[in-house]
Amino acid sequence: MNIAITNQKGGVGKTTTAVNLAAALAERGLQTLLLDLDSQANATANLQVPADQGSVRELIGGERPHIYATGTPNLSMIPATVDLAGAETYLAKSADAEILKRALEPLEKRFDYVIFDCPPALGQLTIAALVAADYAIVPMEAGIWEMQGLVRLMEVLERTDTKLLGILLTRYDKRLGISADTHNQLTKSELPLFNVKISERVAAKYAAIAGQSIIAHNPTSDIAQQYRLLAKEVVKYAP
């Protein structure tokens, strides 16, 4: 099962969600592969994967990728490096939206889930990821601008024929009216919405600094439990 974590807006918890959903799925005993498709390589840094034997750039180029172990059992990764930025030009010239989909086919029997951490833009890499994905998860921070951006993203999902598994509210604070308002707007829109909401917690930042998932770094924290609940919903609706 291939799942793209995507939102064209940065700072909404996209990479945090990709890393920790992957870790929570792995904790459930599921063989999980995390692909860092962002040239900023934040997911790669978060799990301290060295990328010294190749990166996702080779995968896109049609080469056999090196799959790295992480410090989490059942969780593997194909990391990113800064040279991934050139992949946008490469993909634009090739005009081949299914290049990533084909590259992943030999790996599908090896992994139960493949999680894509997409760039914070609706460029060629994101389109290639959505074409390769069975489902998309959209992390979204409560706010009016996020609601406006969601309309554009839904158009792209429809064009790539990618099913929306759910919208995940992040940095959610039930004490704030904007959080409740956004939840109510999404409920009225009848778009799929995850039951779990991800809180703003400093534990997420400390885990990233330590080079671990929240699941590994602070397994008893509220936010670790929230990502476990997210994994439970994912397994239920995208088995």
Q: How far apart are CA 59 and CA 29, in angstroms?
A: 26
- For the chain, domain boundaries: 2-237
- For CA atoms 74, 84, 159, 95, the dihedral sign is negative
Read off the pLDDT band of 196 (50, 70, 90). very high
Reported as a single tens digit per residue, the pLDDT across 21-66 is 999 999 999 999 999 999 899 999 999 999 888 899 888 888 888 9
Reported as a single tens digit per residue, the pLDDT across 214-232 is 999 999 999 999 999 999 9
Cβ neighbours of 58 (radius 10 Å): 15
| Strand order, beta sheet including 75-78 | 68-69, 75-78, 32-36, 113-117, 2-5, 135-141, 163-170
Identify which of 113, 234, 75 has the alpha carbon closest to the alpha carbon of residue 168.
234
Identify which of 62, 75, 84, 71 has the alpha carbon closest to the alpha carbon of residue 115.
75
Tokens of 190: 């009848």
Residue 139's pLDDT is what? 95
Task: Please classify residue 45 by burial: count the beta carbons closer than 10 Å to its beta carbon, then call 0-12 exposed, 13-18 middle and 19+ buried.
Answer: middle
**Residue 175 in this model has a pLDDT that exceeds 70:** yes
Pick the CATH number of 2-237 from 3.50.50.60, 3.40.50.280, 3.40.50.300, 3.90.470.10: 3.40.50.300
